[in-house]
Amino acid sequence: MVGAAIVGRLEREGCTIIRESRDHVDLRRQGEVEAFVAAERPDMVFVAAAKVGGIHANSTFPADFLYDNLMIEANIINACARGSVRKLLFLGSSCIYPREAAQPISEDALLTGPLEPTNEWYAIAKIAGIKLCQAYRRQHGCDFISAMPTNLYGPGDNFHPENSHVPAALLRRIHEAKQSGAREVTIWGTGRPRREFLYVDDLAEACVFLMTHYSDEAPINVGTGEDLTITDFATAIRETVGYDGVFRYDSTRPDGMARKVLDVSRINGLGWRARTSLRDGLALYYQWFLDNLERFRS
């Protein structure tokens, strides 16, 4: 999802995009990554590749989430340093911050407390990627930066019924309930946690902006700076889909952090702000889902 959005944004700039499928370059394999970077000699690199998923996926596949993400980021960052790539942007995640961090969460909160247990494997890998960028900057003078996006939604999302993130899971359940005539939709957890949601094209815009306006070892947050409860978010999706049923809460499922909203004053101070409203973003999101419905029938 993120990679496709960044590619689309760069194409509008007239950039030459270096493409290769995962079938030909396994980013978990050091030799393959080094050979690819050496052959293509990119000028700038956006590290959006990652193994991602929601609470269920993180809890079910902890080894995969830790190993795959460590290998992907280590291989890319090291190969880019050896290949003298001019600039690299590593994308982390808001889950890198401590569970009890003060809200909104500033970049300075990193490594100041324990992580949220439901996604710690992914978070630890992402923290390692941030630190690796810092280390190559300090030791080798590499212009490597890292950005921490908040929760994302948009075209290209993963709508797997068990392993998807909150936006995709809710959109699919509510759409299917409307189609089947079901009178209720299950929401995992209590619906009370507060979350911030960013449309993926806004993130792509931020990534391109940071490549030309930011150069520092400190990670920088990317988000809207606004949050709402999961119930309110589900209600917004229900209105977008046109579903008139009710919500049922499965409190046996974990809520995760009680609140997670980013302090985006640093990137706002540089001149960037999110532009897509939640209403407009969800309308675009749902239309893309409808246009690609056949791929989700499983």
Q: How does DSSP assign 126-181, residue by residue? A: HHHHHHHHHHHHHHH---EEEEEE-EEESTT----TTTS-HHHHHHHHHHHHHHHT
Question: What is the per-residue pLDDT for 261?
Answer: 97
Point out the residues of the chain with pLDDT beneath 50.
Answer: none
Structural domain boundaries, residue 43: 2-296
Whether 122 is catalytic: yes
Query: What span, in angstroms and rounded, lies between the C-alpha atoms of 159 and 164?
Result: 6
Question: What is the per-residue pLDDT for 193?
Answer: 95
Query: What is the pTM (predicted TM-score) of this model?
Result: 0.94
CA distances from 183 to 111, 166, 179, 239 (A): 44, 20, 11, 15
Which structure tokens are listed for 66?
Answer: 């830790």
Cis before residue 104, ω within 30 degrees of 0?
A: yes
Given the residues 122, 214, 243, 285, select the one marked as catalytic: 122
Give how many domains the chain has, as a whole number.
1
Output the known binding site for substrate.
Answer: 173, 188, 195, 255
Question: What is the per-residue pLDDT for 202?
Answer: 98
Question: What is the per-residue pLDDT for 298?
Answer: 58
Instruction: Judge contact between 111 and 63, C-beta under 8 A.
Output: no
Question: What is the per-residue pLDDT for 254?
Answer: 87
CA distances from 184 to 176, 179, 249, 289 (A): 11, 12, 10, 21
Q: For 105, which DSSP code? A: B
Which structure tokens are listed for 212?
Answer: 């030309």
CATH number of the domain that residue 105 is part of: 3.40.50.720
Output the known binding site for NADP(+).
Answer: 91-94, 126, 149-152, 165
